[in-house]
Structure 1
Amino acid sequence: MTMTMTIPGPDGLPLLGSMLDLRRDSLGTFLRARREHGDVVRLEAGPPGLRSVFYAVFAPEAVQQVLASEAVTFRKDHPLYEEVRQSFGNGLLTSQDADYLRQRRLVQPLFTKRRVDGCATAVTAEADAVAARWRTAADHTVDLVPEMNRLALRTVSRILFGTDAEAAVDAIDRCAPVINAYVVRRAYVPVKIPREWPTPGNRKARAAIDELNALCDRIIAERRPATGPTVQTGPTDGPTATAEPAQEGKSAADDLLTLLTEAANDEDGSLDATEVREQVLIFLLAGHETTATSLAFTLHLLARHPEEQRRVQDEIDRVLGEGTPGGTTGATPRPPTAADLERLPCLTRALKEAMRLYPAAPVISRRAVEATTLGGFTVPPGADVVVSPWVTHRHPDLWPDPDRFDPDRFTPDREAARHRYAWFPFGGGPRACIGQHFSMLESVLALATLLRAYELEAVDEEVPVAAGITLQATGPARVRLRPRTPAP
């Protein structure tokens, strides 16, 4: 006779389970659940009759099952993804099955290393503009959270929209937070008010969604290419080979929106205007908030750890030319390029450690389509399952002294010794983030540009955070600036 072990978990309140704890501090609740109940935890939230039950798994072996080796069993049918789908469209983040495979084949060539490396100039130009503006900062102090959000938004808008970026930035900056808050709120309430009802919240969100849709539709209409032939390129690595348009004069510097409107191949056809808009909105959502989080927390952690900041700046000076009088190289300073990613390992390690401590996607949700064994426990079919980089990245069995900032955790030998899913800020498996090389390129080049220009001293030692669609700082991350180079 086979016995099924009961999955442990917190008792919570008699009427509401863990709902209040999850609303007050979901990330702290997950950390406490792992500490008190182990690597597979059952959580209940909500009143009787409306109570939701879900399972959180924290060990890297189980994370690998959910995201990679048994990914077909775990679908994006979670309420959060449905709300994102309803608000931003069915782009790569939310699409599934044949839709997802078709979109991935069409979009993948836009994220080849050559294409992404061609964005380096746009990244450094936007970072240079921030460095110049900081010279006039009041009290020589800035809050890294809005500053890096604006930098990442301007960068992704420039790469997506080219000359139309300026018109897009203000609308996105104004509308995206409204939509994000609306999505998260609806995803986790026991009873959802229909979107069509004219409540103040619905109307505010609808106006923001309509504004972003209209903006994208206008720009896309101006970019749609005349109907013409496309050519099939040679195969790329893996199953995502696809076509590139047969147009002269196209280079890696072309804005991403133009390339999206031209993406086509014989098997999948092309993306229509609505599909292009849905991809653009997902890229805007995933491409600026996540990178902004990584930038802000890397800078803030280095500001709190001046010895690590000095190590990083010494490396930047050696690679890019002296950053301060009396520098070691004597070379004429130059802007960072894509080729410098491999030449800045100390900076890259600091970035990876910041992404460990502050992963931009702190919780990833799936729904099991059949009963599955995770960590020795059977998860029932239809169950909502979450994996949490926030928790796994702090697992004491994987990361000694896990709350300490230690970039040397990411030396090549120490990385090779760890489980592949001990660190997964970009997800993993067949749904891994398509833009992870772009995110690393943008982050390293922007950090190199800013850290060459300034020494940073932390004003706020700790930055409170909460889980939304992405990790959200709920307080300031202020730093005091000291220029390292003379003003031009």
Structure 2
Amino acid sequence: MAVTRTVRTTAGTTTPVPGPTGHPLLGSALDLRRDPLGTFLRAQREHGDVVRLTAGPPGLRTVMYCVFSPEGAQQVLATQAAGFRKENVFYEEIRQTAGNGLLTSQDDDYLRQRRLIQPLFTKKRVDGYATAIVHEAEATAAHWRNTPEVDVVREMDRLALRTVARVLFGADVEAAVDVIHTNFPVISAYITGRAYSPLRVPRTWPTPSNRRAERATRAVYEVCDRIIASRREGIGNGNGNGVVGTGGDDLLSLLSLASNEEDGSLDATELRDQVLVFLLAGHETTATSLAFALHLLARHPEPRARAREEVDRLPPGEPFTAATMDQLPYLTRVLKETMRLYPAAPLTGRRAVADTEIDGHVIPAGADVLIAPWVTHRHPAHWTDPDRFDPDRFTPDQESTRHRYAWFPFGGGPRACIGRHFSMLESVLALAVLLREYDLDAVDTEVPVTAAVTLQAAGRARVGVRARRPGPGVKADAPASP
């Protein structure tokens, strides 16, 4: 059974917004708690491309307007982006924990930060981090020699964190990784729990959850502040260049030096806010893409063979560089198809500034608006057999005929992800290193997922690994010793 919500526009017309009836008292709250991604998929299948969902008891009820079509996503993120702001509960919870960095800042703050930081993410600059990326991927490959089976979710989280921390902190990577790896899951769970809760107690109350989160946040702040203070002192003494193994400066040094006449520079708090955003968004998102790419390849022999053959055609003995990515078009398609099926940011929210018509329906001013790559990437009007893994959906011919926002894992419009090229480069090169060294077999054929700050595996994703090249004490094409 469905209900509709009629909204009157300034022109006096009315437009019904459909949605599920849900529980008489709780609306769709129980469905969203049990299976948020499945709930949004069903909403689109049963009610269309603009759906009104309610969740929570009367007096504490949340109302959201879900926009599922590529055209609607483009409108919210790009063509009418100024009319949809990052002012919902979810972004406020991130802002309270991770500060006012690029992910959460708005208006003049955002424009100033973007102008200061954008020059650090040019293709040329990012390509200079290829050596650091390959170094960490090869270290992971070497670690796998000790086991015939790995959980790619855990392994790729560690790899992506080490990579972004090396690029950020250079020689100080070891001082940060363990602290961040231990505490970020606590922080992420805390943000998600508060964002989805109809009743949020003040953060200052000494509840067990608040105290755990406060300890975790303080630990991450302390390690970041210590490295930032050391780096700024070194820059003041003329020794600010932290080498990341690329022949270039580490990103923290570059952020510390970033300035212009119009925007000034970033102070210590602003630096920490940007570092936290890069650590949070830059490692969890890439880790998700890498883990599910490996798991999908392990489950699908033909795409795995094609990707492996492409890697094997690379010149033997030559180190992987940024230019290597151009020689791996099929592996790049594997990654894009992975990000279609498992977008690292499966849901994203905004708040409508004014009444806005989308896909023939009216979103009222002040409404919470949800955009769902998880759903749009499976939209049956734009994707044939949408649950099937098929990297050839991303051949140039196929991409040229598809709506720009049928696939948008990096967002879009003026707030599109600044780290898109870094994430793609890291993912393709890391996959190439691991496929060069190992063949894969799926152990867990299905991996349940849920939505937190990023897409999260709700179980293990174990993959058998067989060494393809001799290593210390290992025969090629034989399982590594336990």
Same-fold call, TM > 0.5? yes
- Structure 2 partner of 1:271: 266
- Structure 2 partner of 1:187: 195
Q: Which amino acid aligns with 1:351?
A: L
Taking the TM superposition and a 5 Å limit, the aligned residue runs for 1:40-439 are 40-137=50-147, 140-224=148-232, 253-319=248-314, 321=315, 332-439=316-423
Q: Which amino acid aligns with 1:185?
A: G
2:354 counterpart SS class: coil
Q: For residues 134 and 246 of structure 1, do their structure 2 counterparts lie closer, same or farther at Cα, with a shift above 3 Å needed?
A: closer
Q: Which amino acid aligns with 1:182?
A: Y
Alignment partners' CA distance in 2, 1:448 and 1:474: 26
Alignment partners' CA distance in 2, 1:246 and 1:468: 36
Kindly indicate whether the alpha-carbon contact (under 8 Å) linking 1:367 and 1:385 is maintained by their aligned counterparts in 2: yes
Residue by residue over 1:24-60, the C-alpha shift from the partner in whole angstroms, topping out at 9 and shown as x without a partner, is 1110000000000000000000001111111001110
Kindly indicate whether the alpha-carbon contact (under 8 Å) linking 2:345 and 2:409 is maintained by their aligned counterparts in 1: yes
Quick one: which of 441, 444, 455 aligns to 2:428?
A: 444
Alignment partners' CA distance in 2, 1:40 and 1:136: 50
Alignment partners' CA distance in 2, 1:117 and 1:220: 24
Alignment partners' CA distance in 2, 1:402 and 1:313: 25
Alignment partners' CA distance in 2, 1:401 and 1:271: 48
Residue by residue over 1:175-197, the C-alpha shift from the partner in whole angstroms, topping out at 9 and shown as x without a partner, is 10001100011111112100011
Alignment partners' CA distance in 2, 1:177 and 1:440: 24
1:211 counterpart SS class: helix
Identity of aligned residues (%): 67
User: How far 1:225 moved relative to its partner?
Assistant: 5.4
Residue by residue over 1:333-386, the C-alpha shift from the partner in whole angstroms, topping out at 9 and shown as x without a partner, is 333210011110000000000000000000010000100001100110000001
Residue by residue over 1:402-433, the C-alpha shift from the partner in whole angstroms, topping out at 9 and shown as x without a partner, is 00000000000100100000000000000000
Unpaired stretches in structure 1, ≥5 consecutive residues: 229-244, 322-331
- Structure 2 partner of 1:239: none
Unpaired stretches in structure 2, ≥5 consecutive residues: 1-10, 473-482
CA RMSD of aligned residues (A): 1.9
- Structure 2 partner of 1:232: none
Alignment partners' CA distance in 2, 1:198 and 1:456: 47
Aligned length: 461
Alignment partners' CA distance in 2, 1:388 and 1:71: 16
Q: Which amino acid aligns with 2:89?
A: P
Kindly indicate whether the alpha-carbon contact (under 8 Å) linking 2:87 and 2:351 is maintained by their aligned counterparts in 1: yes
Alignment partners' CA distance in 1, 2:248 and 2:293: 28
2:102 counterpart SS class: coil
TM-score calculated relative to the size of structure 1: 0.92
- Structure 1 partner of 2:6: none
Alignment partners' CA distance in 1, 2:69 and 2:428: 29
- Structure 1 partner of 2:4: none
Residue by residue over 1:248-296, the C-alpha shift from the partner in whole angstroms, topping out at 9 and shown as x without a partner, is x998621111111111011000000000000000000001000000000
Residue by residue over 1:62-105, the C-alpha shift from the partner in whole angstroms, topping out at 9 and shown as x without a partner, is 10000000000000001000000000000000000000000000
